[in-house]
Structure 1
Amino acid sequence: MSMINVPDNEATPPLETFDVVVVGAGLSGVGAAYHLTRQCPDRRFVVLESQESFGGTWLTHRFPGIRSDSDLYTLGYRFKPWTGPPIATAAEIRRYMGEVIAENGLAAHIRYRHAIVSADWSPDDKRWTIVAVRTDTGERLLFAANFLWMCQGYYRHAEGYTPDWDGMAAFKGQIVHPQTWPDDLDYTGKQVLVIGSGATAATLVPAIAGDCAHVTILQRSPTFYRTGRNAIPIADELRQLDIKEEWIHEIVRKKILYEQAAFTRRCLAEPEAVKADMLADVRAHLGPEAAVDPHFTPRYRPWRQRIAFVPNGDLFATIRSGQTSVVTDEIERFTEAGILLKSGKTLTADIIVTATGFHLSGPGAIDFSIGGQALDFTDTVTYRGMMFTGVPNLAWIFGYFRASWTLRVDLVADFVCRLLNHMQATGVSEVQPALRAEDQDMPILPWTDPEDFNPGYLMRGMHLLPKRGDKPDWQHSQDYWAEKDQFPAIDFADPAFVFK
């Protein structure tokens, strides 16, 4: 039987049983719920979400100007046309998700403020027993399910990553991380120092610069930026022709995917040419005399880290106007009035914003066990980035680095629903991936290749993630164009799947 972690002095709560438990009500979890209702309509499922509402990333982050850095034609679902500007605000994304929930009757399946504490697989009962806690009341709850679907994303929502710099306690102003932005933070007329120059800074700075006395972006190393209009001309033209939104969504989606794939290939094949084009774009926004080197010339090739999209060049407009300045240096220590840099220069500030990334979280930051024995996902090898060797009846949605996260939500959902239907049709109750005979001597590697993609959050947290093999079946390829054809062709007769 499953081991339930309930204190001796606390009564065991009643057990609710489902066919599937979905973890998280962000883009992944809401997408999973939709596909379950369509492709597995006879399955009982519940979505457990730790926050007070749906949205995931788009609920956690509430800093000024929060918006997508992927277009909504691909960040949106394939089944729900997007009709607004391609780069959308968090409020617009949550409104879109709310429509998906309302239009498909998903609200009845979602339990909010349910934080999962542990999950134990019972080899005898062929089910997961999940212990959850109500975040508002502290009440402990028990759920059981034959299949556990992890849709919680890959970072810790409770707090962002802030390095432990020397002297932080001495600073007399406020230190704020964008992930936990205070609702009452007043930056009007203040000197604001933003540490970091990635997508968060590129979003935040244009939103606050007009209200601050001045904003300074302090970066250790530059980021690649792409600019463009926040519009898709072909979408606007098709709407003028009164084309159905479903058709527009599909046409624009395919066009964007094709162009993104072509750009990625060019980044790998002609990195110096792409770099020159991107720096020329920055110079065009800042003016011919702008200091593109060193402030906008990264040390890595394009797409080795995520490229920040700047719609309508708004970040560069604040720099050109003098509202924002950029400093490239390293921090020696914090002072009472700001920061002392290793160059000896000092930066004063009333507010310091640490736009320094997030904490990577493995599959759920949950205490997993199998038959009461602790499960360490880092000891497993991934099957195509969505299942793990030796772990029964569990799938994980992990999106794409160089394309919209939600593209993989739809693909993985198709696979999981097909797997569930296959298990029902063949009368089996357990499945887990296993290395085949020909895979036994395969090199086992980290989750991703640092030479291919190496942002700070991934390098800091690689030790938390499962391993990959050097064969396509045993890694997350990060290639949507290949996976969209490979996933539907996965054969459950493959010895990589062990059914019981």
Structure 2
Amino acid sequence: MTMTEPEATATATEHVDVLIVGAGISGIGAAYHVKDRFPDRSFVLLDALESHGGTWWTHRYPGARSDSDLFTFGYGFKPWRGPSIATADEIRSYLGEVIDENDLAGSIRYRHRVTSAHWSSADRRWTVEVTRDDTGEQLRLTTDFLWMCQGYYRHQKGYTPDWPGMDRYQGMVVHPQDWPDDLDYAGKRVVVIGSGATAATLIPAIAETAGHVTMLQRSPTFFISRPKTHELAVTLRALDVPEEWTHEILRRAHVAQLEEITRLSFEAPDELRKFLIEEMRPLLPEDFDIEKHFTPRYRPWQQRLAVVPEGDLFAALREGKASVATDTIETFTETGIRLASGEEIEADIVITATGFDLAVFGNIAFTVDDEPVDFTQRVTYRGIMISGVPNMAYVFGYFRASWTLRADLVSEFVCRLLAHMAEKNATVAVPALRPEDADMPLLPWMDPENFNAGYVMRSAHLMFKQGDREPWTHMHEYTQERQMLPAADLDDGTLAYS
């Protein structure tokens, strides 16, 4: 049979030295490092979304912003010149500058969704199947090294619990990940379910025009007020200090603050709890029940601190534009929500700021030599590679510190590994348990005593495992890894080269 032109195009295979999945902050950073370190190697970034940015493209709800300072959330190689706390648009603009300044645009392909990845030991390469979401075309690429930078949650749809009575509710239910461009909340009664960073961002943004906003939470979150622009940045810029210096000084200042909060969370959690609560108290209404609404059950830093820039959430509460209800949902009604206490909250719009679902490597189907990879039975190697999976690295950032701090470290590590492989004339590197690791216990991906956010606990059973010794552990603090990863021995017997 003669192959038609469309069929010929669909089965054509393109080869690149490095294939990066994801054009968010991790993938763009990875591409920069590959191009800077290996200018002669070919690479491509694939992303299922319509443009760059990842999280900052997906989240378009009012007020969407960072909950980390941009001096650590920005790349180490590109100074951040804006305020410490930035909007989604400002972050996407910054990422766009990285793309333009480093001529990366020609290597990025949007609306290209990876559906499967197959490793062949005989061919010593990956074959990656791709669907173009704009045309439906099926594509195939091969690569020597696969770098997963797709993020850690499902972008297509957020997590919304199935509460009783939702089918009879007559108002609108909206998840922040699916925010309608034409949503009119002016003068409306709005209930935001949730108390994390998304709720803390949304509520002050919509409270200005909504009739009233109620934050309905099952349990409280630790909030901390921070200025949008760091005082030290104002001082340094007034002195006309070069932006590169300002970036590095502010980066170190924020890291030092992070180290101190982390230390206190383990060594003096009660004192840190008291400090955080007392920091909030004068910013809240006089009659606000801070013990009920803003005193979490968990230890500080078992979940992220939700940043409140300029205390905007507290201001909305003081001004009566917003209020807090701490209770569980008994049922939705036709006109709102009835709580377990019997209280009813009338709502024209309900916003489910209830988080997202973790996705293991974008839910892509992986095989190694035709055997499906069950990641739940695999072990992480330094939080960067997976046991028994050759020539594949991934980026997973910090839960408590800025994601990009780890993305930078991982990029440097992967580039060091690629250079080391070239020095050894090796085309394959695969993490492999040593004989002394044979009886190593497989531990959960995340210890709830360390971090117990809802989205982590809901999806822990889907994730890969970790061991009880190096290098089979992960989720260290930045203060540890900034020393550990650059010094990691690539010839300690845990990476098999061939």
Report TM bin, short chain.
Answer: over 0.9
Equivalent pair of 1:77/1:407 in contact (CA under 8 Å): yes
> Of the candidates 311, 322, 325, which is equivalent to residue 323 of structure 2?
325
CA contact 2:218–2:326 (8 Å) conserved in 1: yes
What is the aligned-residue RMSD (CA, Å)?
1.1
Q: Determine the structure 1 residue equivalent to 2:55.
A: 57
Match of residue 437 from structure 2: 439
CA distance in 2, matches of 1:229, 1:146: 46
Aligned residue identity for 1:264? T
Alignment pair present for 1:309 and 2:274: no
1:239 is aligned to 237
Tell me if structure 2 keeps the 8 A contact 1:33–1:106: yes
Q: Decide whether the 8 Å contact of 1:402 with 1:478 is kept in 2.
A: no
Which of 39, 43, 50 in structure 2 is aligned with 1:41? 39
Separation in 2, partners of 1:444, 1:78: 34
Structure 2, unaligned runs of 5 or more:
1-5
Is 1:116 aligned with 2:126? no
What is aligned with 2:179?
181
Residue 11 of structure 2: SS of its match in structure 1? Answer: coil
1:219–1:329 CA contact under 8 A, matched in 2: yes
Name the counterpart of 2:89: 91
* Alignment-derived partner of residue 190 in structure 2: 192
Rounded Cα–Cα distance in structure 2 between residues aligned with 1:461 and 1:10: 39
Q: Distance in 1 between matches of 2:369 and 2:437?
A: 26
What are the residue-to-residue correspondences of 1:473-484 with 2, within 5 Å? 473-484=471-482
Match of 1:68 among 51, 66, 69: 66
Alignment deviations for residues 448-491 of structure 1 (CA, whole Å, 9 cap, x no partner): 11111000000000111110011131111321111112111122
Counterpart of 2:383? 385
CA contact (8 A) 1:195 1:352 kept: yes
Gaps of 5+ in 1: 1-8
* Equivalent residue number for residue 282 of structure 2: 284
SS in 2 for 1:207: helix
How far did 1:426 drift? Answer: 1.6
**Cα deviation, residue 427, structure 1:** 1.3
Is the deviation greater in 240-249 or in 347-356?
Answer: 240-249
1:230 is matched with 228
Distance in 1, Cα, partners of 2:67 & 2:204: 14
**Cα displacement (A) at 1:10:** 6.0
Q: 2:413 is matched with which residue?
A: 415
Does the CA contact (< 8 Å) of 1:194 and 1:201 recur in 2? yes
Structure 2 match to 1:5: none
Instruction: Report how far residue 374 of structure 1 moved.
Output: 0.9
8 Å Cα contact 2:285/2:317 also seen in 1: no
Counterpart Cα distance in 2 of 1:109 and 1:10: 24
> Secondary structure of 2:62's partner?
coil
The separation in 2 between residues aligned to 1:477 and 1:357, in whole angstroms, is 20
Work out whether residues 20 and 45 of structure 2, in 8 Å CA contact, stay in contact via their aligned partners in 1: yes
The question of whether the paired residues in 1 share the 8 Å contact of 2:72 and 2:251 is answered with yes
Residue 228 of structure 1, CA deviation: 1.9
Paired amino acid for 2:115: V
Aligned-residue offset at 1:18: 0.4
Supply the distance in 2 between the matched residues of 1:384 and 1:373 (Cα, whole angstroms): 24
Q: TM-score, normalised by structure 1?
A: 0.97
Query: SS at the partner of 2:36?
Result: helix
- 2:172 paired with 1:154: no
- The correspondence for 1:345, drawn from 335, 343, 346, is 343
Task: Report the 3-state secondary structure (helix = DSSP H, G, I; strand = E; otherwise coil) of the residue aligned with 1:360.
Answer: coil
Instruction: Read off the aligned partner of 2:268 and give its amino acid letter.
Output: E
1:71 Cα deviation from its structure 2 partner = 0.4
The normalised TM-score by structure 2 is 0.97
Q: Secondary structure at the match of 2:156?
A: strand
Deviations 1:117-164 (A, max 9, x none): 100001100100000001111001100001000000100000000001
Instruction: Quote how far apart the aligned CAs of 1:289 are.
Output: 2.9
Q: Which residue identity lines up with residue 42 of structure 1 in the other structure? A: D
Q: Which amino acid aligns with 1:379?
A: Q
**Residue 4 of structure 1 aligns with which residue?**
none
Alpha-carbon separation, structure 1, partners of 2:346 and 2:189? 7
Give the number of equivalent residue pairs: 492
